[in-house]
Amino acid sequence: MMTIYGDVVSGNCLKVQYVADLLHIPYRWQHVDVVGGGARASDFKALNPAGQVPAIVFPDGRVLSQSNAIMRYLAQDSPLIPEDPWLYAKMDEWLFWEQYSHETAIAVLRFRMKFQNQKIGERDPLLVKKGEKALGLMEVHLVKQGWFVGDVLSLADVALYAYTQFAPEAGFELDAYPAIGAWLERVSGRII
């Protein structure tokens, strides 16, 4: 049985947990206290020298890190990855965008507000603008279609759900994004 090293306060860790649960892949959860510095501990860094969660250890001892790489590995040959090459590429497009343009604003602001007690008026205006831009792009996309890729839940939805669900904890009002709100309900109904 594989072991997932992670912390449920991390959307990146939740992505991996959601995929494993959706696909009924058995695992053990090993808590790593991210806020308390557990990812920087020497025993964890022996598994993942980058000192980031999640990391997954397979029964044969192999270790894989980076949430989107783990999701893609676990979901091979499943309905979460489109068979059509174009849709597969579009899924990857959203996965790369999520890590570069979405998570880097929403997750960072959430961490600062929720775990470092930063007040809403103290948020970095550049990150706020980046987060609003990300949510705006998602809203425009979701007005046109119900899922991020094709007409079914894919890894793109799982990846974007992980931190979007916590956007209010980063100071973003999701009432301004009704298509995102409806999509969050659809995804939640499938993965939780």
Measure Cα distances from 5 to 98, 109, 142, 164 in Å. 21, 23, 32, 22
pLDDT over 70, % of the chain: 100
Mean pLDDT, all residues of the chain: 96
Residue 79 lies in a domain: no
Q: Same domain, yes or no, for 119 and 179?
A: yes
Residue that finishes a domain, picked among 53, 74, 95: 74
Q: Does position 192 have pLDDT exceeding 80, yes or no?
A: no
Residue 91 is part of which domain span? 85-191
CATH code of the domain containing 157:
1.20.1050.10
Residue 30 lies in a domain: yes
Q: Work out the average pLDDT over 82-88.
A: 97
CATH code of the domain containing 29:
3.40.30.10
| Alpha carbons 100 and 92: distance in angstroms, whole number | 12
| Alpha carbons 122 and 73: distance in angstroms, whole number | 39
